[in-house]
Structure 1
Amino acid sequence: MGRQEEAIRVADELLADIELKRLKASEVVLKASRLARLVGHTELMEFLGFERNGYPTDGSATTWIGRAGRWADREKKTFYTHSIAKVEAQVESAHQAIDAMRGGGNYSGDAALIAARDHDTRILQSSANLSTWTGICGQVVATVYDMATEIYHELLFSELQASLFADTQQKVDGALAAASGTALEKIERISDRLRDGDTESVSQALTTCRRLIDSSADYVFPARDELYKIGDEVDLKVGPQQVLNRLQAHTHGCGASKSRRDRLRRTLADLYARCSAGTHAEVTFDEARFIFLQTYIVLGEILTLSAPEDSKS
């Protein structure tokens, strides 16, 4: 099982443990610590570190003090610094004190009223303590739950993205390989050049991107002398120099909707212009990377279009 799969499993278990109240607060903190470590979530690790070891009094944990319900007096800036394990011990102690005082006492004589009042006061104090400590436990668990839920959804989305990208990459690589015997080799060269990061390498990478677009157009729609008709009004020149027109003709021949064809045409026109500019004008390293990624994606979409059944022979 990979690290991400393990993190998803732990997050799912942790959320179920909290929802079904299967773990004490201190056990929730320990299990959440494993999740935080698996995903490298620095904020959660910081919070759980305070919960395991106790809170410092230097003001560095103010945010977490509030989220954990640990303020004793916010105006005076006093709070409960105990670790979550010690908080749970206080909960147990308060329960025992209340149990011991249940049923009242056998008071008589002149001091009976005073003794009964003192007994009631001690019960109220123990109840107040119990409320404070259980409240902290509840707030800690609630904070962990909120953060674990966010992590869980991010992990699921990331897993979905990875699956979609892997599936798409397989299809695109296959289409590019068919479009040009050296297409995948060109992509490897582009990747190497962009890793270099110098101006000349960026320029060469963009030139390779442009050539990749050219070879894709040659594959899906070889140059023709006659015009290509789109509807009743548009006649496209589809000669050797009309690379983008030939790719547009291909998308039309595959039956793509007008809105899709227009989107692909605009995107390709922008990319082709930037790829051409890269040979004589400054294009930043970061921009070049995005140009390459967008070129790869849009060519993949075009090359994986299927021609209508009635046009196949």
Structure 2
Amino acid sequence: MTSSDYILGLVRKALDRFDEEPLEVSVRRAVRIANLAGDTKYAVRLALDLRPIGGDRETNGETSRMLMADPSTWGQGMGPAEKAHHAWVNDRKHGDEELLTSHSLAELEFWIKEIDALKKEGKALGYNHDLTMRERATRLLARTRHITFALLCSWERRFGYTSINDSIFGGYRTKVDELLAEGAPELLQQFNAVYRRLQEAAETAPAQIATEELSQAITTCRRILKAVVDHVLPPQEQPSAAGHNLDDAHHRNRLFEFTKQAVESRSANKLTEAMVAGLYDRFVAVDTMTNKGVHAALAFETSNLCALNTYIVCGEILSLHHLRN
């Protein structure tokens, strides 16, 4: 996914130059932004304003699918592409017979200029006909201009907020990555392996189920969780004071023992207690998710959620370990 700061920069550039450049340029920029943001409906809707009359129907459909965040929804009747086309058709209808003006923005502007040229040469088509064509073309151009400007404004607000959140989470990620690099550098490579698997699954053809890629990503998450516990409290032959096994197979017991020691240590403070609160329960929930994930074709969204939670929980464990030392 493209960073919010990058998209925000494109949006502000488009807005700053909106009144200085041809409408077609602004619309192309808006299509690009919608595509990066995953706003399929508006990417396809505005692209229809750029497409000239005619062309191969199959190629036109393929071009629209290129702009879809999820091409598998193509042809489902009520998908974002169909909604975009329906909105575009309604905007382009005119007259009692609901005729369709299907010219692109460039073609509409061409005809306005052509009418002006004919008029200068004394070859005007007639006042009523001339006025009708001008009015229709101007109305369509104005409508597209309004939609494009409104979308750019909404994206500026949306990615302005998102950019702030990105900076917050970016700082957290930097901190966790530093802790990983110091204490368990091999885990950074494992996290990268998870992200690569998820990316491969995202790029898989819609008709296929990326079961293998997702399963491998989830398996790696489970290994990472155990490796983090191995780092903060290695396997021990002797059980805990409460009689819990602390060997290699019982990594959950070792995490529980680690958090217990953190609270009971002399260095414990309110921050430590807050970090420990609920940490074990979250770890168990994510660890359980990874175990189930290996035996099922997880949805891509669920796999992403699992990877994200693995990273956050591991970051909390490493931060707690850092505070103790």
Report the Cα offset of residue 51 of structure 1.
Answer: 2.8
Higher Cα radius of gyration = 1
- Amino acid of the structure 2 residue aligned with 1:70: R
2:225 corresponding residue in structure 1: 209
Report the Cα offset of residue 172 of structure 1.
Answer: 1.0
Candidates 65, 68, 84, aligned match of 2:89: 65
How many residue pairs were aligned? 263
- Amino acid of the structure 2 residue aligned with 1:300: G
- Amino acid of the structure 1 residue aligned with 2:9: R
Report the Cα offset of residue 142 of structure 1.
Answer: 1.7
The answer as to whether partners of 2:31 and 2:46 remain within 8 angstroms in 1 is yes
2:11 corresponding residue in structure 1: 11
The answer as to whether partners of 2:283 and 2:313 remain within 8 angstroms in 1 is yes
The answer as to whether partners of 1:177 and 1:184 remain within 8 angstroms in 2 is yes
Question: What secondary structure sits across from 1:138 in the alignment?
Answer: helix
The answer as to whether partners of 1:248 and 1:265 remain within 8 angstroms in 2 is no
Report the Cα offset of residue 161 of structure 1.
Answer: 5.6
The answer as to whether partners of 2:35 and 2:43 remain within 8 angstroms in 1 is yes
Change (3 A) 1:136 1:289: closer
Question: What secondary structure sits across from 2:17 in the alignment?
Answer: helix
1:107 corresponding residue in structure 2: none
Q: What is the distance in 2 between the residues matched to 1:38 and 1:17?
A: 20
Q: What is the distance in 2 between the residues matched to 1:204 and 1:35?
A: 34
Question: What secondary structure sits across from 1:256 in the alignment?
Answer: helix
Question: What secondary structure sits across from 2:277 in the alignment?
Answer: helix
The answer as to whether partners of 1:217 and 1:244 remain within 8 angstroms in 2 is no
2:258 pairs with 1:246: yes
TM-score (structure 2 length as normaliser): 0.56
Report the Cα offset of residue 134 of structure 1.
Answer: 1.9
Change (3 A) 1:51 1:239: closer
Superimposed CA distance per residue, residues 87-138 of structure 1 (whole angstroms, 9 cap, x where no aligned partner)? 2355567789999xxxxxxxxxxxxxxxxxxxxxx76775555433221111
Q: What is the distance in 1 between the residues matched to 2:310 and 2:38?
A: 33
Superimposed CA distance per residue, residues 230-264 of structure 1 (whole angstroms, 9 cap, x where no aligned partner)? xxxxxx89995553143255268241387764332
- Amino acid of the structure 2 residue aligned with 1:244: F
Question: What secondary structure sits across from 1:185 in the alignment?
Answer: helix
1:102 corresponding residue in structure 2: none
The answer as to whether partners of 1:176 and 1:216 remain within 8 angstroms in 2 is no
2:142 corresponding residue in structure 1: 138
Identity among equivalent positions (%) equals 15
Q: What is the distance in 2 between the residues matched to 1:290 and 1:36?
A: 24
1:84 corresponding residue in structure 2: 105
Change (3 A) 1:243 1:306: closer
Report the Cα offset of residue 298 of structure 1.
Answer: 1.5
Candidates 301, 304, 307, aligned match of 2:319: 304
Runs (5+) with no aligned partner, structure 2: 62-81, 121-125, 198-211, 247-252
2:77 corresponding residue in structure 1: none
Change (3 A) 1:216 1:148: same
The answer as to whether partners of 2:275 and 2:316 remain within 8 angstroms in 1 is no
Report the Cα offset of residue 146 of structure 1.
Answer: 3.5
Q: What is the distance in 2 between the residues matched to 1:272 and 1:33?
A: 41
Runs (5+) with no aligned partner, structure 1: 100-121, 227-235
1:169 corresponding residue in structure 2: 173
The answer as to whether partners of 1:71 and 1:77 remain within 8 angstroms in 2 is yes
Q: What is the distance in 1 between the residues matched to 2:289 and 2:87?
A: 47
- Amino acid of the structure 1 residue aligned with 2:227: R
Change (3 A) 1:260 1:84: same
